[in-house]
Amino acid sequence: MIEILLNGLGPKGLIFKRREETITFGVIVSDEFFVKSIPAVSGSPEDLVQFLGWNGSNTHVNQQHVSKISLPLDADFKPAPPPVDIDLPDLDQAILDGKHE
């Protein structure tokens, strides 16, 4: 994915019907190191069926929200909960919660 994005050959965005870590990790690394990125969104199987019905429509992504209409960039969206429960060690959870530096 990194090579595809760096060569300007990547898609405009990615939508997955379940959590996908390998390809999205490539998107994250490409963004962090090379400032080249695309939206990568995971949804439920029901979400994917809805997205497929938008065939031929422009799709807009802002943070974790996907829509057929343009979304304001300054909208105060709350992140969606993780799709699965993950038990993290206390230190890792504190870091994610912003309670540890």
Residue 48 CB coordination number (10 Å) = 15
Residue range 24-81, pLDDT digits in tens = 888 888 888 888 888 888 878 887 788 777 776 777 776 666 777 776 666 565 656 6
pLDDT value at position 47? Answer: 79
Strand partners, 42: 16
Q: Where do the structural domains in the chain lie, given as residue ranges? A: 2-96
* Residue 17 near residue 47 (C-beta atoms within 8 A): yes
24: three-class secondary structure by DSSP: helix
Q: Which of 8 and 47 is assigned the larger pLDDT?
A: 8
Global pTM reads: 0.52
The rounded radius of gyration (Å) of the Cα atoms in the chain is 16
Q: How confident is the model at residue 89 (pLDDT cuts 50, 70, 90)?
A: confident
Strands 14-16 and 40-42: what pairing? parallel
